Amino acid sequence: MTPAPSTRPSIKILYTIPYRGGSRTWSVRFHFSGGTPANSSAWAALALALRNDLKAGVSSGLSIIGSVGYAAGSEVPVWSETVSVAGTLASGTPATGDSATMVRWTTDARSTKNHPIYLFNWFHGASWSGSGSSDTLLAAQKTVYDNFAAKFASGGAGYSDGTNTYHRCGPYGAVGLVGSCDQYVRHRDFT
């Protein structure tokens, strides 16, 4: 069964990563509350604000290569851009390309079976310290994503397009309350 169209706008950040002798493109999509960016300049400002924080979560071997904006209720992009911004995470040993960092936000929403609803995002380019357990995420990378999750949560500063401030929510409006990054390197297939 096809899910109902989202009721919130979203932005997708596109990355590229070296992978098995070539490169692989992947993306992270964020639905948000606070309205919809009014025009191309507002979408670009929101993408820049996100990119300025997210580039610190990946090493220089990875790049953010673009952004795509979507209005609520549609999978047809209303805005897009192409960029080339290298990651700035300076230390650590990269894990395999399909390893990932997991960021999760709690919500006060419940499923039809009364289970809590969480919001998740997965970021490839996970790193570890190079000593100790390779399952433990590099502390500096965890800090970047913890700060990002807290800022994007409903009680955080949010991300602005210069006019509106946006906070993380689900595709149907579940508000991201408390965000954090998991301490372990995870596996995630490319999407």
Residue 133, pLDDT score: 75
Which residues are CB-contacts of 93 (< 8 A; sequence separation ≥ 6)?
A: 127, 128, 129, 130, 134, 138
DSSP conformation class of 175 = B
Residue 97, pLDDT score: 78
Residue 91, pLDDT score: 79
Tens digit of each residue's pLDDT (9 = 90 or more) over 132-158? 778 899 999 999 999 999 999 999 999
Q: pTM for the full model?
A: 0.93
In whole angstroms, give the CA distance from residue 129 to residue 133. Answer: 8
Residue 160, pLDDT score: 97
Residue 162, pLDDT score: 95
Query: Could you tell me the CA-to-CA distances from 138 to 41, 86, 88, 100, 101 in Å, in that order?
Result: 35, 19, 14, 12, 10
Q: Tell me the mean pLDDT per 10 residues along the chain, length 191.
A: 89 92 93 97 98 95 96 96 95 83 96 95 89 86 97 96 97 96 82 62
Residue 57: left (phi > 0), alpha (psi -120 to 50), or beta? alpha
Adjacent-strand bridge partners of 127: 94
Residue 52, pLDDT score: 97
In whole angstroms, give the CA distance from residue 75 to residue 69. Answer: 9
Residue 120, pLDDT score: 97
DSSP conformation class of 9 = -
Name the residue ranges covered by the structural domains of the chain: 10-187
- Dihedral sign of CA atoms 168, 171, 173, 179 in order: negative
Residue 2, pLDDT score: 78
CA atoms within 13 A on the CB side of 62: 32
Residue 93, pLDDT score: 83
Helix (H, G, I), strand (E, B) or coil at 85: strand
105 CB-contact burial (10 Å; exposed 0-12 / middle 13-18 / buried 19+): buried
